[in-house]
Amino acid sequence: MHSGVQNVPLDINFALFISPFSEYMFMQRALIGSFAVCLGAVPVGVFMTLRRMSLTGDAMAHAILPGAAVAYLISGLSLIGLTLGGLVAGIVVAALAGWVARSTHIKEDTSLAAFYLISLALGVVILSLKHSNVDLFHVLFGNILALDNAALYLLAGICSISLFILAILYRALVIDCVDPQFLRRYGPASGVAHYGFLFLMVINLVAGFHALGTLMAIGMMILPAAAARFWMKTLDGMLLVAVLISLAGCVTGLLISFYVDLPAGPAIVLSVGVFYIASIFFGAHGGFLSKVFANQHLTG
């Protein structure tokens, strides 16, 4: 009797958290899809914050939009069309911006801003020439609650490719972050790391726009990484905590979306945003409270 009384609230909690995912296929698909996006994109996001490329990622997200929009005009909501459109636009902008930055005195952020603005304007012009009133809601805010098998395979594939390439480039990326000149004496290693990383950004943004939309995808890369810096000092630790925060954000965001009837993509990013703001206050390394209560000091 006693134990039965105790179990009632536990069962209710269990049902609240689990039943949307156990009873509804679209929620299961959303969870799997968003986890795939997180596992691929968040480690890349950690490196983006460490390389001070957060705004570069934002620019790339905008650069992908017109490619996807043009693909939408040509092939509608075709998964392959949208993926290729975003991929081509992103890679072309990243490659051009990187080439100009390395070949001229223009800095990379300026170069990238210039090319993504040109790309964005070109996309808008093409759309206006077609006099098309297409609904780009899917591209802007994703479609996480309507992922089909093909979309899930695509997200899982991009996640796998991204983790594989990141594992290969990991050492070069780390060295390139700490001492950007070091690898430049060893043949193409520095260039491979730089362009390889831009490629990783692009494919993860493309995966992100299928699930969360172009404008939300970058949030999933940057926010968990920024939050993790408040909790861990080592790179391994930051990668682990950032991924865990993003996964928790996906579960929370999907549940909020389910119960409060909010758009799922923004709900997920907002959930991770709450983790980030909480980390600013409570983070063990550099959080506000850790500074307020740090009135003791060590002996050496």
Partner 1 sequence: MTIQLSNLTLAYDRHPAVHHLTATIAQGEWLAIVGPNGAGKSTLLNAMAGFTQTHEGRIEGLCASQVAYLPQQTLLDKSFPMTVFELVSTGLWHKLGLCKSLTMQQSRQCADALAAVGLDGFEKRMLSTLSGGQLQRSLFARVLVQDQPVILLDEPFNAIDAKTLADLTQVIKQWHQAKRTIIMVTHDLDYVHEYCPQALLLARECIGHGPTKVVLTQENLTRARRLCESFDDHAQWCTKRAA
Under a CB-based contact definition with an 8 Å cutoff, are residues 155 and 217 in contact?
no
Residue with Cβ nearer partner 1 (217 or 239):
239
Residue with tokens 């002996």: 299
CB of 173 to partner 1, least distance (A): 10
- Closest CA relative to residue 252, chosen from 59, 66, 17: 17
CB of 234 to partner 1, least distance (A): 5
Backbone phi and psi for residue 283, each to the nearest 5 degrees, phi listed first: -55, 140
Token digits for 144? 């996480």
Alpha helices in the chain (DSSP H): 2-23, 25-50, 54-75, 79-103, 108-129, 137-141, 149-178, 189-211, 214-228, 235-260, 264-282, 288-292
CB of 182 to partner 1, least distance (A): 7
CB of 212 to partner 1, least distance (A): 27
Question: What is the CA 89 to chain-centroid distance, rounded?
Answer: 18
Burial 195-215 (b: 16+ CB within 10 A, else e): bbbbbbbbbbbbbbbbbbbbb
Q: Which residues bind partner 1 (CB under 8 A)?
A: 50, 105, 168-169, 171-172, 174-175, 177-187, 189, 232-235, 238
- Closest CA relative to residue 230, chosen from 176, 166, 286: 286
Residue with Cβ nearer partner 1 (75 or 290):
290
Residue with Cβ nearer partner 1 (130 or 171):
171
Residue with Cβ nearer partner 1 (163 or 175):
175
Token digits for 269? 């990013």
CB of 140 to partner 1, least distance (A): 34
Residue with Cβ nearer partner 1 (52 or 130):
52
CB of 164 to partner 1, least distance (A): 12
Residue with Cβ nearer partner 1 (157 or 196):
196
Q: How many CB atoms lie within 10 A of CB 149?
A: 8
CB of 187 to partner 1, least distance (A): 8
Residue with Cβ nearer partner 1 (145 or 169):
169
Long-range contacts: 74-79, Cβ < 8 Å, 24+?
A: 77/138, 79/150, 79/151, 79/154, 79/210
d(CA 97, CA 12): 53
Question: In 63-155, which ranges are E strands?
Answer: none
